[in-house]
Amino acid sequence: MILNETQSAIVDAVRAFAQDRIRPFSLNFETAGAYPPELFQEIAALGLMGMTISEDLGGAGADYVSYALALMEIAAADGALSTIISIQNSLIVGSLARTGTEEQKARFLPDLIAGRMLGAFALTEADAGSDASAIRTRATRVDGGWRLNGAKQFITSGKIAGLTIVYAVTDPDAGKRGITGFLVPTDRQGYIVDKVEHKLGQAASDTCAIRFDDLFLEDDLRFGTEGGGYSLALSNLEVGRIGIAAQAIGMAQAALDIAVGYARDRMSMGKAIIEHQAVGFRLADLAAKLEAARQLVLHAASAKDAGLPCLKEASMAKLVASETAETVVSGAIQTLGGYGYLEEFGLAKIYRDVRVCQIYEGTSDIQRMVIARAL
C-alpha cells in the first residue's frame, strides 16, 4: 500500500513523538508497572485517543489506515502502551461514539478523548473467555436503575480506568439476547479491584480481576438497548483486531530494526555478520514475512475505511500479524546471540510483550474459526 501525504505525515509525527517521549523510558515504565498520567494527555494532544472519531465529537477524524499506522509506531516504542491506546480507541471511545446516547457522549467523551480519563472493557470472565455468551455477571433491575454483581477477569486498565464498559446478564432465560451493556464509573461503591495480575509481559499496562458488589447504576448508564449487549460487544471486533494486529507489527518492526542494526555493526571473520549468508538470509526472510503481514493489516484497515464488511480480513490480519511477530522477534534474538537474551538490548522486553497478541481480542484459534466460517 502506498501511503498518501496525510498518512505519511501522521507516521512521521507519531514516530518522532514515540521515539523521543516513550521508547527511552520503556523499561522504566515496565519496572514501575505504570505510566505517568500526564503521558496520556500528551498522547491525546496528538489526536491519538480518538483517532477515528469525527471532529464534531472532539476526535481527530482520521481514517483507519492512519489509526493502524499510528498504533504501529506507538507499539514500536512500547507494546503495553499501544494496548491501552488500542482499547481506548476501539472498545471505549469508538463504541461510545457509535452507541452512546447524546447525554452519555457529552458526559464521558471529552475526558476520554483528552486523555484525562482511561476506559476499560469488561466482558471476559474466569469461565467465559472465547465464549462470551457464557458470562455470569448479573444486573438486576431495581427502583431507579440496576444492581450489578459478579466478577470479570483479564481487564486491561481495570485499576486506572475512570470508566468501565461492563456486560452483564439481565435476562438469564434469554441466552445471548439477555446480555446488556452498562457504563460503570469506577469511583462507584461496589467497584472492587480484587487483583492486579503479575504477567509475563506488558507489565506497565495493568490487567485486573474486577468484582462488582451490589453496585448501583442509574437507568441512564445502561449502554445500548436492553438485551443488545452481546451483539454490541462483538460489533467492535473488526477495529479491535486490526488494532492488535497493528501493534504486533510495530513490536516486530522494532525487533527487526535492532537485529539489522546489530548485524551491520557486528564483525565476524573479517566482515559484518549480515554479509554472512546464514544471518543475511534469516533477516531477509523475517523482513519479507513482516512486510506481508503489514500489508494484510493495512488492507483490512482500508476495507474498514471503504465501509466494507471486513471481519474475515481483520481476523486474517490479527492471526498472521501476531504469529509472524513472535517469529520475527525470536529470529531477532537469535541474530544477536547471547546479547539478544540481555535486557539492555531491548529484545527481551519486546519478546515478553508481543506474545499476548496471539491471545487477547480473540485467540489465534478463534481467528481460524472465524476465517473458516467465512470460507
pLDDT tens for each residue of the chain, 375 residues long: 899 999 999 999 999 999 999 999 999 999 999 999 999 999 999 999 999 999 999 999 999 999 999 999 999 999 999 999 999 999 999 999 999 999 999 999 999 999 999 999 999 999 988 888 899 999 999 999 999 999 999 999 999 999 999 999 999 999 999 999 999 999 999 999 999 999 999 999 999 999 999 999 999 999 999 999 999 999 888 999 999 999 999 999 999 999 999 999 999 999 999 999 999 999 999 999 999 999 999 999 999 999 999 999 999 999 999 999 999 999 999 999 999 999 999 999 999 999 999 999 999 999 999 999 999
361 is an active site residue: yes
By CB atoms closer than 10 A (0-12, 13-18, 19+), residue 169 is: buried
CA distance linking residue 350 with residue 320, whole number of Å: 18
Catalytic member of 73, 125, 326, 361 = 361
What's the whole-model pTM score? 0.96
CA distance linking residue 333 with residue 243, whole number of Å: 25
* Number of neighbours of residue 133 by Cβ within 10 angstroms: 14
CA distance linking residue 61 with residue 97, whole number of Å: 12
* Number of neighbours of residue 11 by Cβ within 10 angstroms: 16
The grid cell for 338 is 547471547
